[in-house]
Each structure stands twice: as structure tokens, then as C-alpha cells.
Structure 1
């Protein structure tokens, strides 16, 4: 299966398909879209209003990958279901953490 992330400068760019009001905060694995792209499926309890779901997404990713919240930034898709998130850290370490986390998802 493909990877929903790419190395970018001093971190990774992660493509996420976010489901707000998903009942729980969780990473559900990787999904292939119809156009061949791969995304990380994430659900959060927060509603998609006033940026609550985006804030919950960045908090969840920071917690899951042991990063400070300031190292997780939404760079595209603020009002869309598909989002691009920048994770700022050593790319090799992030890549390893993502693979480990997704192996258990």
C-alpha cells in the first residue's frame, strides 16, 4: 500500500481524510482514494465548526506522534475533508513513528 506522506524540508507532509463527529478521536489507517492517492483516515469527536475539528486533528496528531502541538500545522484544506498537515521534526524519525503507529492501526 502507498504512503500518505512525503518528506518536505524539516519534516513530513501528511495527507489526511478527516471525519468530524466521528464518535472518538482515532487514526483508522490508510485508504486509497479513487484517483490513486493515499490518505490517512482520521476521525475526531469535534464538530466541523469554528475550526474545532481542525484543532482536534492537530492535537491528536501531536499526541499520537509525540510532537509538541506547535510542530503540527494545517497547511491546506481548512474547510475541506481532505487536508495537508505539516509535521515538523526529523523526517526519518517521523517516518519510523508513522510506520510503527500504522502497523498497529
Structure 2
């Protein structure tokens, strides 16, 4: 199974954290500078550790030199699993 997520990366932020922006997109603060692929490497390692999967199962599909990236996560995880492992529950609204 493959899952693709869009991530906004904030490099050189002095902290490491996951959050959601107002559009529901992942926002990731990284300590690394965006130089020589260091921030990309930190991003992939961070996702692999948080999702408890091998780093080989995560790749950057687009945005190698941009702050807006698309990550492909291969393996048994669904988008719900990814959200849950990162500490976010999918919200459901019931209409009357």
C-alpha cells in the first residue's frame, strides 16, 4: 500500500515538531539547515522514526529543493495510520 502526504518544511527552526496547518497539511519544524540535503535527510529520518518503519519506505516524490514536499510512504500504513502515529486523529463532522 502506498500513501502520499504533503508536508510544509520549516528548516533551521531550532526545534523538531509536527503540526497541522489551517488547511490540514502537515507542518514539520526541523533543526537542520536546508543545505546539501541535510533538511531532507532529517525529514525522512524523522518520519521513519515516528512511523516506526524503515527509512527506505519513505521517499520525497516532489519538492527536493522546496519547502513544500510530497512524501511517498510505502508499506502497510494508511493515511489514518500515519495521522494516528504522528499524534493527530482524523476529525469527523456529523451533519444534521
Would the TM-score normalized by the shorter structure come out above 0.5?
yes
Asked if the contact 1:65–1:98 (Cα under 8 Å) also holds between the matched residues in 2, the reply is no
Q: Distance in 1 between matches of 2:15 and 2:22?
A: 22
Per the normalisation by structure 2, the TM-score is 0.82
For structure 1, the residue ranges without an aligned partner over 5 or more in a row are 1-9
Cα RMSD between the aligned structures? 1.6
Q: Distance in 2 between matches of 1:30 and 1:84?
A: 15
Structure number with greater Rg is 2
> In structure 2, what is the equivalent of residue 31 of structure 1?
21
- Equivalenced residue count is 88
Q: Distance in 2 between matches of 1:66 and 1:95?
A: 15
Per the normalisation by structure 1, the TM-score is 0.75
Distance 1:79 1:97, change over 3 A: closer
Deviations 1:10-42 (A, max 9, x none): 221010000001112221x21135xxxx42010
Map 1:1-105; keep pairs closer than 5 Å.
Answer: 10-27=1-18, 29-33=19-23, 38-92=24-78, 95-100=80-85, 101-103=87-89
Q: Which structure is higher in strand share?
A: 1
Q: Distance in 2 between matches of 1:79 and 1:54?
A: 9
